[in-house]
Structure 1
Amino acid sequence: MADLLPGLLICLMAVQTIQHDRNTSRTNTDKPPGVIPKTFKGRISKFNHTNQQPNTLQPDDAATAYITGVLSTWAIPSSYILAMLVGIPSNAYILTFLRVRLRAKSLSTVILYLNLACSDLLLLFSLVLRVHYHFNGNNWIFGEISCRLITALFYGNVYCSAQTIACISLKRYLAVVRPFLYRRLAKTTLAVWTCLIVWFLFGAAIVPELLVRQSYQVTQLGVTTCHDVLPLEEKSHSPLVTYRLMLVFLGFIVPFLICIYAHVAVVYHLGQSGCDWRPFIRVSTLVFIIFVACFLPSGILHIAHYIRLFSSGDDRLYGYYRVAVCLCCFHSCLDPFLCMLISKTAASELQFISFRGIPQRLAVTT
Structure 2
Amino acid sequence: MADLVSGFIFCLMAMQTIQHEGNRSRTKTKISSVVIPKTFKGWMYKHNHTNHLPALHSSTNPWLYVNTEDPVTAYTTGIISTWVIPSTYILAMLVGIPSNAYILGFLRVRLRAKSMPTVVLYLNLALSDLLLLLSLALRVHYHFSGNNWIFGEISCRLITALFYGNVYCSAQTIACISLKRYLAVVRPFLYRRMTKTTLAVGTCLVVWFLFGAAVVPELLFRQSYHITPLGVTTCHDVLPLEEEPHSQLILYRLMLVFPGFIVPFLICIYAHVAVVYHLGQSGCDWRAFIRVSTLVFVIFVVCFLPSGILHIAHYIRLFSSGDDRLYGYYRVAVCLCCLHSCLDPFLCFLISKTPASELQFISLREIPQRRGVMT
What TM-score do the two structures reach when normalised by structure 1?
0.91
1:46 and 2:46 are equivalent in the alignment: no
1:50 Cα offset (Å): 2.4
Q: Which residue of 2 aligns with 1:66?
A: 75
1:55 and 2:62 are equivalent in the alignment: yes
Q: Deviations over 1:13-61 (max 9, x none)?
A: 1111111223567xx59x9xxx966565343333454213672111231
Equivalence map 1:217-232=2 (5 Å):
217-232=226-241
Q: Which residue of 2 aligns with 1:14?
A: 14
Equivalence map 1:115-134=2 (5 Å):
115-134=124-143
Taking the aligned partners of 2:111 and 2:308, their CA distance within structure 1 comes to 33
Identical positions, percent: 76
1:349 Cα offset (Å): 4.5
1:194 and 2:203 are equivalent in the alignment: yes
Taking the aligned partners of 1:363 and 1:62, their CA distance within structure 2 comes to 54
1:44 alignment partner AA: T
Taking the aligned partners of 1:341 and 1:104, their CA distance within structure 2 comes to 24
1:351 and 2:358 are equivalent in the alignment: yes
Query: Which one has a larger percent helix, Structure 1 or Structure 2?
Result: 1
1:62 Cα offset (Å): 0.8
Taking the aligned partners of 1:281 and 1:194, their CA distance within structure 2 comes to 26
Equivalence map 1:1-366=2 (5 Å):
2-22=2-22, 28=26, 41-52=36-47, 55-60=62-67, 61-99=70-108, 104-345=113-354, 348-352=355-359, 355-360=365-370, 362-363=371-372
Change (3 A) 1:23 1:311: closer
Larger CA deviation: 236-245 vs 326-335: 236-245
Taking the aligned partners of 2:252 and 2:368, their CA distance within structure 1 comes to 42
Taking the aligned partners of 1:101 and 1:287, their CA distance within structure 2 comes to 24
2:132 alignment partner AA: L
Q: Deviations over 1:208-249 (max 9, x none)?
A: 110110001101110000000011111210121221111111
* Conserved 8 A contact 2:128-2:166: yes
Q: Deviations over 1:61-98 (max 9, x none)?
A: 11111111111111100110011011111111222443
Larger CA deviation: 295-304 vs 97-106: 97-106
Change (3 A) 1:102 1:268: farther
* Conserved 8 A contact 1:50-1:56: yes
Q: Secondary structure at the match of 1:105?
A: coil
Superposition CA RMSD, Å: 2.3
Q: Secondary structure at the match of 1:238?
A: helix
* Conserved 8 A contact 2:285-2:356: no
Taking the aligned partners of 1:41 and 1:179, their CA distance within structure 2 comes to 44
The unaligned stretches of length 5 or more in structure 2 are 48-52, 54-60
* Conserved 8 A contact 1:37-1:48: no
Q: Secondary structure at the match of 2:247?
A: coil
Change (3 A) 1:135 1:11: same
Q: Secondary structure at the match of 2:239?
A: coil
Change (3 A) 1:67 1:201: same
* Conserved 8 A contact 1:88-1:333: yes
* Conserved 8 A contact 1:37-1:49: no
Q: Secondary structure at the match of 1:230?
A: strand
Taking the aligned partners of 2:79 and 2:23, their CA distance within structure 1 comes to 12
Larger CA deviation: 44-53 vs 4-13: 44-53
1:331 alignment partner AA: H
* Conserved 8 A contact 2:286-2:356: no
What TM-score do the two structures reach when normalised by structure 2?
0.89
1:100 Cα offset (Å): 6.1
Larger CA deviation: 86-95 vs 109-118: 86-95
Q: Secondary structure at the match of 1:356?
A: coil
